[in-house]
Copies of this chain bind each other. A is one copy, B any other.
Amino acid sequence: MPSARETELLEAAYRYVLTHGLADVSLRPLAAAIGSSTRVLLYLFGSKEGLVKALLARARADELALLADIGTGPGVVARLWDWLAAPAHRPLLTLWLEAYARSLVEPDGPWAGFARATVEDWLEVLRAAQPEGVRDTAAGLALRTRELALLRGALLDLLATGDGERITAALRTSLTT
């Protein structure tokens, strides 16, 4: 259980990495930016790896919070896309992609399993949204895999080009079903 000071600093550090990226974050600049010191960061999180792990967990919490109240039933895909496409979420999603890529390159360390976990999280939500008859069939699995691919591919495009209009138009046919 984290102390009050710990969650406070974690929150500040989280805000920092959202704009600076996680890849080449280093303790001294981070500490200076959030009004702390490397000594305190190390004291509270044990090591840099501990800090990064905490930050990754923090980011994942944001993601899981979304998935929790996205609901089920028809229109999930559309609602998910609305959330992904919201400009306010772009830093989080960039961070998400960074962690995703990193966990593929370097399967050890604090990143471990991030990519796989996030695939499973989302597939599970899409599964819950399917009608009961399809949910446990091969067709159901194929369908939700497909929906996930579409959402994530669209997200990649959006993050690179920022062209929400073109991409949302491309998704429109799938969003209604």
Contact = CB atoms under 8 A, between A and B. Distances in A.
Interface of A: 21, 23-24, 94, 97-98, 100-106, 115-116, 118-119, 138, 141-143, 145-146, 148-157, 159-161, 166-167, 169-174
A143 B159 contact: no
Contact of A154 (B105, B153, B170): B153
B159 A156 contact: no
A115 B145 contact: no
18 contacts: A23-B102, A94-B104, A98-B101, A98-B102, A103-B160, A104-B160, A115-B156, A115-B159, A116-B160, A116-B161, A119-B160, A138-B169, A142-B169, A145-B170, A146-B173, A149-B157, A150-B153, A153-B154
A59 to B, nearest CB: 14
Nearest to A154: B149
B100 A100 contact: no
A101 B106 contact: no
Contacts of A100: 97, 101, 156, 160
Contact of A94 (B94, B105, B153): B105
Contact of A170 (B101, B142, B170): B142
A148 to B, nearest CB: 7
